[in-house]
């Protein structure tokens, strides 16, 4: 089993005149989990 995570802080967003959106995005995290199974015949299966 392999787990990884990447954190992203506030990113400056492109805004236009009279734009209602904020200047910066909210921080977020991307999580990845990989589970794999090796078989005796040489095959490997995995779920991401």
Give me the chain's average pLDDT, please. Answer: 91
Extents of the domains making up the chain: 2-47
What is the per-residue pLDDT for 3? 94
Tokens describing residue 34: 């990989």
What is the per-residue pLDDT for 38? 86
Confidence check: pLDDT of 43 > 80: yes
What is the per-residue pLDDT for 48? 72
Q: What is the pLDDT of residues 3-23, one digit of tens each?
A: 999 999 999 999 999 989 899
């Amino acid at each position: 089993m392999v787990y990884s995570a990447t954190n992203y802080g506030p990113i400056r967003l492109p805004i236009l005149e009279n734009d209602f959106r904020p200047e910066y995005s909210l921080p977020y995290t991307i999580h990845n989990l990989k589970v794999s199974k090796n078989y005796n015949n040489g095959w490997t299966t995995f779920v991401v």
